[in-house]
Structure 1
Amino acid sequence: MRRILVFTHTGRQEAIAAAIETCSLLKAAGAITVMRRKDHEAMTDAIGEAIESIEILGEDCQIDDVDLGVVLGGDGSVLRAAELVREAPLPLVGVNLGHVGFLAEAERSELAATVDALVNQEYTVEERMTIEVKVWLDNVCLAETWALNEAAVEKANRERMVEVVIEVDGRPISTFGCDGVVMATPTGSTAYSFSAGGPVVWPDVAALIMVPISAHALFAKPLVVSPDSVMAVEILTRTDAGAVLWCDGRRTIELPPGARVEVTRSSRPVYLARLNTTPFSERLVNKFELPITGWRGPAKVDARRSATAALPVIGPGLQSVEPHHRDEPGIPMVARTDDGPE
């Protein structure tokens, strides 16, 4: 029998209700429900009695015995679950109970169909790049962690900017005062990086992203670099303003002046279960409710015709014309009236 680990947001009644329904659906489908003890206790308190046939993770079974994880909540819940199962590794599928839910694969209304597909193994598994994050000070590694979405260096005090220098592959790019710098994966490009003005990067693109936040500089544009590059942010010592490092909004460490944060691609990805093959472009439109009115789409293959002679074709007889002033006599570049050029 398949064991499916159910994660839920114990602080939300909607999530607990969804967990109770998920357990019932899994039992009816012949699967074994596995939960963490704290999630199981939250469900028990909500209904006033313990639900039978649920195994407790770490007591009745281990993470290696589990086939799949179901996360009931928003993107924050998926990030929390990824932190817990990354060592396994265990595929996760998110059921969105939040707002945008970019990491979620299904909505609350699709819960029954989702459980049925998972039990019958009607899904594919997708790898998502993660990053390794190291904090250095005077050649001493203060901390080492990872992130699925991003590592964000932020100013520690609201009233003072943090002075930084950004670096790629051991070469400085620019120095400026700012509110912070986000270093993200393609998965994280639709999260904090997106809010800071960074580009949307398709999840299957191998790249790393660096996005300054409210930088006081002429050149502080988002950068998209090779997945094999090393991105770094150094906190300058010309002021005593400190900073804080946040990884996926969950793990944090204070950064004193002189600290250095290095980000590289991790060799250990996170695995997400996909229930359908909806293109990322369509997910982008649906999640952000983007306007697409007026779109006509590409011509159908059987309706396409070869080009006609209506447009001139430039061949070997191409001529070049030297640049000239628009008012140069003899070259009618602009329409003229009696009062001069229009």
Structure 2
Amino acid sequence: MTDGIAVPWSTGGARHVLLAVHTGRRDIVDLARRSADRLTRAGITVRVLADEAPDLAIEGAQVVPADSDAARGAEIVMVFGGDGTFLRAAELARYSNAALMGVNLGRVGFLAETEPEAVEETLAAIERCEYSVEKRLAIEVDVIDASGVVVGGTWALNEISVEKAERSRVLDVVLGIDGRPLTSFGCDGVLFATPTGSTAYAFSAGGPVVWPDVEALLLVPTNAHALFARPLVTSPDSVLTVAVPPDGNRARVSADGRRTLDVPDGGRVEARRAARPVRIARVHPTSFGDRLVAKFGLPVRGFREARLPETRAHGPGREAPWSGRNVLERDVVAPHDGRGEVTGAPDDDA
């Protein structure tokens, strides 16, 4: 179907894959179409979202509304786009057992599993069910007014930001952990982040990078006017609180940059681990450390290879010519004789 009209579907014993696509770019649309064609030929039912169906024009695809039922009964939500598209797809997959699998067509694409050149390999893995599923901790918040009544709530995979509503004024906050006050200061805002989100907004605000299999919650102040305003890493079972005085600046909540709520005067925001994790499918056995190196272009080879005879002229801390070796392999770091001299440098052909 290509007319954008929703078609009823039932899971039965069939396999279903929902596509979430950044349709603003022709190359992304073309890649999504080719992927849908291969999945269909493999006997897998392809679903597309009603608001994307006219642009995708995938013949035979089931068209479903972009709501909480879109991914219900689906095995995979396959995302074609950057991290923004991935976060939008996470909203669709949240209330289902579908796992998210991203194809990075953005800039960093930290959440994505694969790059465009490896799509065929990824599709083959889906066809053969040769993938693993990670369960990522998500975070949810309640917005509570001055009388203690919950007036709103939302959730996020990356982070929830409590931020000032007026740019010209500082936001006064009181921080609490597990019902006990911790400190107060003026700032631009405070982030509640997950380990998955530690490489996103929290990273830009000076927070630590946390491996995604570590269960923890992060609290990261942004531009705080205080000596003690360091990022905090707490138990995943903690309740983190940001209270806003009634005579201070107005505040609002932003979840993954996609959903916003106003905080009442004198209200507070309480964050905790979400009841449901987000499921992410993985095909390639890449470690998180390797992902950090690849996504951020970290200089993993210059410092150690500078101590080898053929690269010593480059000096420590400077990039040496790439030798094709992995700095994490044992034979890259040569043994020394205790006087700082190399005693067994690996061959160039290793």
What is the aligned counterpart of 1:225 among 206, 212, 234?
234
Q: Tell me if 1:98 matches 2:126.
A: no
The equivalent residue for 1:47 is none
Q: How does 1:1-342 map to 2 (within 5 A)?
A: 1-44=14-57, 51-57=58-64, 63-137=71-145, 138-239=147-248, 241-292=249-300, 293-295=302-304, 297=328, 299=330
Report which of the two structures shows the higher radius of gyration computed on alpha carbons.
1
Report if aligned partners of 1:29, 1:116 keep a CA contact under 8 Å in 2: no
Tell me, what secondary structure is at the counterpart of 2:257?
coil
1: CA distance, partners of 2:88 / 2:230? 30
CA RMSD of aligned residues (A): 2.2
Structure 1 runs of 4+ off > 6 angstroms?
Answer: none
Q: Give the alignment's TM-score, normalised by structure 1.
A: 0.82
Report if aligned partners of 1:2, 1:119 keep a CA contact under 8 Å in 2: no
Q: Percent of aligned positions with the same letter in both sequences? A: 47
The equivalent residue for 2:314 is none
Report the CA distance between 1:299 and its aligned residue.
5.0
Tell me: CA distance 1:297–1:31, structure 2 relative to 1, closer, same or farther (3 Å).
closer
Report if aligned partners of 1:74, 1:97 keep a CA contact under 8 Å in 2: yes
Tell me, what secondary structure is at the counterpart of 1:64?
coil
Report if aligned partners of 1:6, 1:71 keep a CA contact under 8 Å in 2: yes
Report the CA distance between 1:298 and its aligned residue.
7.2
Residues 43-89 of structure 1 deviation map (CA, whole Å, 9 limit, x = unaligned): 23xxxxxx322112369x96433221100011111111111121112
Report if aligned partners of 2:23, 2:55 keep a CA contact under 8 Å in 1: yes
2: CA distance, partners of 1:79 / 1:297? 32
Tell me the amino acid that sits aligned with residue 182 of structure 1: L
Residues 133-157 of structure 1 deviation map (CA, whole Å, 9 limit, x = unaligned): 1000021101022111111011111
1: CA distance, partners of 2:108 / 2:76? 23
Report the CA distance between 1:118 and its aligned residue.
1.0
Report the CA distance between 1:25 and its aligned residue.
2.2
2: CA distance, partners of 1:278 / 1:96? 15
2: CA distance, partners of 1:72 / 1:134? 32
2: CA distance, partners of 1:234 / 1:133? 13
2: CA distance, partners of 1:62 / 1:80? 12
Tell me: CA distance 1:219–1:264, structure 2 relative to 1, closer, same or farther (3 Å).
same
Tell me the amino acid that sits aligned with residue 159 of structure 2: E
Report the CA distance between 1:34 and its aligned residue.
1.1
Report if aligned partners of 2:236, 2:273 keep a CA contact under 8 Å in 1: yes
Report if aligned partners of 1:94, 1:103 keep a CA contact under 8 Å in 2: yes
2: CA distance, partners of 1:122 / 1:297? 26
Tell me the amino acid that sits aligned with residue 215 of structure 1: A
Gaps of 5+ in 1: 45-50, 309-342
Residues 198-226 of structure 1 deviation map (CA, whole Å, 9 limit, x = unaligned): 00000000110000000011110000011
1: CA distance, partners of 2:171 / 2:26? 40
1: CA distance, partners of 2:70 / 2:116? 28
Report if aligned partners of 1:74, 1:98 keep a CA contact under 8 Å in 2: yes
Worse overlay, 110-119 or 190-199: 110-119
Tell me the amino acid that sits aligned with residue 256 of structure 2: D
Q: Give the alignment's TM-score, normalised by structure 2.
A: 0.80
Tell me the amino acid that sits aligned with residue 59 of structure 2: E
Gaps of 5+ in 2: 1-13, 305-326, 339-350
Tell me, what secondary structure is at the counterpart of 2:51?
helix
Tell me the amino acid that sits aligned with residue 98 of structure 1: G
Tell me, what secondary structure is at the counterpart of 1:84?
helix
1: CA distance, partners of 2:118 / 2:151? 44
